[in-house]
Amino acid sequence: MEREFAEKAIKQAMQDKRKHKVGAVIVVEGVERRGAHGAEISDDDHAECCLLERHLVDESVRGATLYVTLEPCTNSRHWTRSGTKSCAQIIVDRGIARVVIGMQDPDGRIFGRASGFLKARGIEVEFFPDDLRDQCEKLSSEWVAEKRKSWKYEQIFAGLPSLRAPRVRDFEGLVVKDTAEILLCPFIKEGWAAAAVKFSHTEKELPFPDEYASLFDLYLRTLWKKKRFFDDGPKVMLRQIPWCTSDTPTLMLETQLTRYSHVQFFKDLIVTDAATRMKFLELLRVLTEEDCDLSLRDSLVQQSNLFWKKNGDDVTHLTAQLRQGADQVFVPHALCAHMIVVTSDEKVLITKRSSKTVYFPKTWSSSFEENMTVADLDGKEPAALTWMKRGISEELGLAPNTHSDDNIRVLSVFLESDILNISICGFVRLSVDRDTLDQVLRTIPRTDKEFTAWTYLPYTDESLIQEILWPPSEYYHPTSRFRMLLALMKKNGLHEMASHWV
């Protein structure tokens, strides 16, 4: 009998001429009293209001059960003899004892609100069986999809401002925590093909500032073993901030050389904020004789404090210059590809960085990082393609036949403001599924072992939004959630997402 009344409510909904089709049936002492549907006279007519305030306005329905295909509204207002009310309030006022709902509202702002409202006023709330709920959704499938998508994107755009770190609060464009967009691909759904990215490279090394020379020498000698400066070598960095538009969309990266030791020195002592500097000093203080000369260590701590007291907070000044549109890059950094890896069955690879990695050990990354090398610029293939394919091979152990060149893309150039490093976000869609990738990661020797564990996120709006906006499920690498946002935009398109917001 219960199912019969739910099915009758669905039949009523089929008569609704709107995109969202709603039907209702009221049952008194086991007997159907009347049914109604939305838009009976005008598009503003709600099924519950039509039923209770038009057809049964003079009849008692106290103690009745209402079957309705969509949860009643709590924020709309309908005219009744006793004033304007929502459908949920009408149900309460007419003494309905029990409400059986087909589906909850797909708009996240309303979802479940009626259930809570009715329960709080002593009304029993139940739901249609799963197969009938699916029928309700199918009847209004276009409207349901639109509402869910709209709410998801509103969550993203409304929530992003709260995720900005103070030092990049005034940056234009996308910002997630300390990671700020410098340049976004004008066609984010496609991305720049890695093979089409242009390079203009000079072998000239970025001059090292004289005012830092004595402190750098002390830093180098103190951390020679701990930082493996005996492997010091050239790093590729950007020398100009890139720029393009939808009319001139080619990505050109102008690069030059710096050194690993210079990058580390600036990261540890020059471009950090006060809190990060204190952490670095604490790390220095726990170094042992096996790590370094303790007299050098103590001297470095003392000289660093004197230097910071004299020079103030450089990171604020340097970040401000970037924000204000400086063209030239003036800080040694290592140009790095922060890669997103998606399997053929729509899973995003998430990896846990080794405790031995220089940058952000033990954090979870979506999916891995790979620094550019000088050799990448000298290859037969385009430099960005060589660089990213090398990363896929060294980090994941994957053969070339597991991905096509056309599926390796660049989505953005961005700033890691906490260390003033400029990087790019890459994206690769594999031709193998999660199980195959798992087997490769477990069994094939990898050149680099920069991660020690891995898992996956579904490549869905719901999963990515959850990780971006709410307390994340893992302790993430600082750029991981920014990458997830770009992956979301690649999946849906920026303009489509923005259109739901404005």
* Interatomic CA distance for residues 475 and 490, integer angstroms: 24
pLDDT of res. 453: 93
pLDDT of res. 1: 55
With a cut of 60, say whether residue 499 has pLDDT above it.
Answer: no
Average pLDDT over residues 315-343: 75
Burial grade of 312 (CB within 10 A; 0-12, 13-18, 19 or more): exposed
Average pLDDT over residues 346-352: 96
Q: Which of 177-186, 432-441, 463-472 has the highest mean pLDDT?
A: 432-441
pLDDT of res. 154: 67
Q: Are 110 and 75 in contact (CB under 8 A)?
A: yes
pLDDT of res. 369: 96
* Interatomic CA distance for residues 383 and 12, integer angstroms: 62
pLDDT of res. 277: 63
CA atoms 12, 15, 16, 21: torsion sign: positive
* Interatomic CA distance for residues 87 and 69, integer angstroms: 13
pLDDT of res. 472: 74
Closest CA to 20 of 145, 121, 130, 187: 145
**Token pair 């009715």 in the structure block, residue:** 118
**135 alpha carbon, distance to own chain's centre:** 32
For the record, the structure tokens of 154 come out as: 């509103």
**3-state secondary structure at position 347:** strand
Q: In 144-165, which positions are buried (b, 16+ CB within 10 angstroms) versus exposed (e)?
A: bebbbbbbbbbbbeeeeeebbb
pLDDT of res. 435: 96
Please report which confidence band the pLDDT of residue 465 belongs to, taking 50, 70 and 90 as the band edges. Answer: confident
**Token pair 């009643």 in the structure block, residue:** 72
Report the chain's C-alpha Rg in angstroms.
30
What is the pLDDT of the chain when averaged over all its residues? 86
Please report which confidence band the pLDDT of residue 367 belongs to, taking 50, 70 and 90 as the band edges. Answer: very high
For the record, the structure tokens of 337 come out as: 């590809």
* Interatomic CA distance for residues 167 and 349, integer angstroms: 30
| 128 against 320, higher pLDDT | 128
pLDDT of res. 502: 43
Give the E-state strand segments of 229-328 in sequence order: 234-238, 252-259
Does the pTM surpass 0.85? The reply is no
CA atoms 438, 460, 431, 396: torsion sign: negative
For 11, 279, 299, the CA distances from 306, given in Å and listed in that order, are 80, 17, 11
Choice among 21-35, 234-248, 280-294, 315-329 with the minimum mean pLDDT:
315-329
Q: Are 493 and 195 in contact (CB under 8 A)?
A: no
Phi, psi angles (nearest 5°) of residue 252 = -115, 125
Q: How many CA atoms lie within 13 A of 472 on its CB side?
A: 21
* Interatomic CA distance for residues 432 and 448, integer angstroms: 21
Average pLDDT over residues 196-210: 92
- Percent of the chain at pLDDT exceeding 90: 53
**3-state secondary structure at position 427:** strand
- For the segment 144-193, what is each residue's pLDDT rounded down to a tens digit? 877 776 666 666 776 677 778 877 777 778 889 889 898 999 999 999 99
Please report which confidence band the pLDDT of residue 310 belongs to, taking 50, 70 and 90 as the band edges. Answer: low
**3-state secondary structure at position 240:** strand
Choice among 53-57, 303-307, 464-468, 479-483 with the minimum mean pLDDT:
303-307
Cβ count near 466 (within 10 Å): 16
- For the segment 261-271, what is each residue's pLDDT rounded down to a tens digit? 999 998 888 77
pLDDT of res. 149: 67
With a cut of 50, say whether residue 501 has pLDDT above it.
Answer: no
**3-state secondary structure at position 431:** coil
For 251, 354, 446, the CA distances from 247, given in Å and listed in that order, are 12, 42, 41
- For the segment 16-73, what is each residue's pLDDT rounded down to a tens digit? 999 999 999 999 999 999 999 998 888 888 999 999 999 999 999 999 999 999 999 8
Please report which confidence band the pLDDT of residue 493 belongs to, taking 50, 70 and 90 as the band edges. Answer: confident
| 143 against 75, higher pLDDT | 143
pLDDT of res. 298: 81
DSSP state of 52: I
pLDDT of res. 15: 94
pLDDT of res. 22: 96
pLDDT of res. 304: 74
**Token pair 């050109």 in the structure block, residue:** 252
Cβ count near 317 (within 10 Å): 11
pLDDT of res. 197: 97
| 21 against 311, higher pLDDT | 21
**118 alpha carbon, distance to own chain's centre:** 35
